[in-house]
Amino acid sequence: MNQAARSVVLHGLVIALLVAMFFVLPEYHSGNLARILVLAVFAMGYNVLFGYTGLLSLGHALFFASGMYGLGLSIQFLSASPMLAIVIGLITAVVVSGVIGFLALRTTGVAFMIVTLMFAQAGFLTVLFFGKYTRGDEGFVIQRAQRILFGVDLSQPLPRYFAALILFAICLCLIAWMVHSRFGKTLVAIRENEERARMLGYDIQRHKLMAVIISGTMSGAAGAAYALLFGYAGASFAAVQYSILPLLYVLLGGAGTTIGPLIGTVFMFYLIDISSEYTDAYLLIAGLALILLTLFAPHGIAGILRKKLAWLP
C-alpha cells in the first residue's frame, strides 16, 4: 500500500471512528465532541498557515469572529436563512483574510506576528465599538427557530453533532488533498527554505497570500459553524485568547500533520475541562502541559506517532 492509499485509509478510519463515538459516548461527551470538532476545524485552518507555510500568526481570532458575526448579524438583522447566512459568513472571512493577508505579508518573521495581533485586537475593539449591533461582551443568542437548515433543527444533539462532523470531514479531506498537491508541497518548500523556493521560480507572495486566505476561510467556517450550531456569538471569540488557542492546539497535536489539530484540540479541551473542576488556575495547568510537551515532544503528539509511522501525513 503506497503512502497516498495509507493516507486515505487513515482519514477514513478517523471519520468512521468519530461517527461511531456519537452512539457510544454519553450525551455530555458527545456534546463536547461536537464543540471539539468545530474548534478542530479552527485549528486545521491555523495549521495551514503555521504548520505547512511556517507563518506564525496571532490574529486568527479575527477570522473566526468574521465568520461568526457574518453569519450571526445576517440572521439577526437581515433575517437571512441559515444557508444564506453561512455563505455570508464565508464571504466575510474570505474578504477579511484577503485584506489582512495582503497588508500583513508586507512584513516577515516577528513583525508579521505583531501585525496580525494588532489587526486582531483592532477587530476585537471594533466588535465592542459597535456594541449596539454586536452586543459587545454580552453577545447575542441565535434563536432555535433561526437554526433550522433544510428542515433539520441544528439545536438538537444528533443533527448538531453530524453537522459539525460533516464540516470537519470536508476540511480534513481538503487538507489531506492539499498535502499531496503541488500547491501544498510548495507551501512546505517555502516553510523549509523560502529563498531556495524563490530561486526555483515560485511566486512566494502569491502562495503565502493563498495560504492566508485558505487558513482564514477555514477559520471563518469554524466561527460560522460555532454560532449556528451552539446559538451564540460574543466578543470573547474575537479576543486575543482565541488567537492563542489554535496555536496551542496545533503545537500539542503536531504542526504540519493532518490529524494533529484534532488530537491537540481534544487534549487541551479535556485538560482544561477536567482541571477547571478542581482549581481556578486551570490555565496554569494547561501552560505546564504545553511546556512539558514542548520539552519532551517538540513535534507534538502526532509528531511522536510520525517517528514510528513515517508515512503519517
Q: Where are the domains of the chain?
A: 3-240
- DSSP label at residue 181: S
pLDDT band at 296 (very low <50, low <70, confident <90, very high): confident
Kindly state the average pLDDT of the residues 245-268.
Answer: 91
Q: What is the pLDDT of residue 295?
A: 82
pLDDT band at 293 (very low <50, low <70, confident <90, very high): confident
- CA–CA separation, 251 vs 245, rounded Å? 10
Kindly state the average pLDDT of the residues 56-71.
Answer: 95
pLDDT band at 311 (very low <50, low <70, confident <90, very high): low
pLDDT band at 309 (very low <50, low <70, confident <90, very high): low
Q: What are phi and psi of 57, to 5 degrees?
A: -110, 145
Is the predicted pLDDT of residue 7 greater than 80, yes or no?
Answer: no
Above pLDDT 70, what percent of the chain?
97
- Mean pLDDT taken over the chain: 90
pLDDT band at 33 (very low <50, low <70, confident <90, very high): very high
Kindly state the average pLDDT of the residues 290-305.
Answer: 81
- Exposure string (b/e) for 164-180, b if CB count within 10 Å is 16 or more? bbebbbebbeebbebbe
Q: Which residue has better confidence, 275 or 161?
A: 161
Query: Please, how many CA atoms are within 13 Å of residue 261, restricted to the half-sphere of its CB?
Result: 31
Q: Considering only 126-135, 139-148, 253-262, 296-305, which range has the smallest mean pLDDT? A: 296-305
Q: pLDDT (tens digit, 9 = 90+) per residue, 144-182?
A: 889 999 889 999 999 999 999 999 999 999 999 998 899
Is the predicted pLDDT of residue 306 greater than 80, yes or no?
Answer: no
Closest CA to 71 of 238, 240, 222: 222
Q: What is the pLDDT of residue 229?
A: 95
Above pLDDT 90, what percent of the chain?
65
Q: pLDDT (tens digit, 9 = 90+) per residue, 79-93?
A: 899 999 999 999 999
Q: What is the pLDDT of residue 310?
A: 63
Q: What is the pLDDT of residue 79?
A: 87
8 A C-beta contact, residue 46 and residue 57: yes
Is the predicted pLDDT of residue 5 greater than 70, yes or no?
Answer: yes
CA dihedral (188, 192, 197, 203) positive or negative: positive
Kindly state the average pLDDT of the residues 239-247.
Answer: 89
Is the predicted pLDDT of residue 277 greater than 80, yes or no?
Answer: yes
Closest CA to 61 of 234, 180, 203, 196: 234
Q: What is the pLDDT of residue 160?
A: 95
Is the predicted pLDDT of residue 289 greater than 90, yes or no?
Answer: no
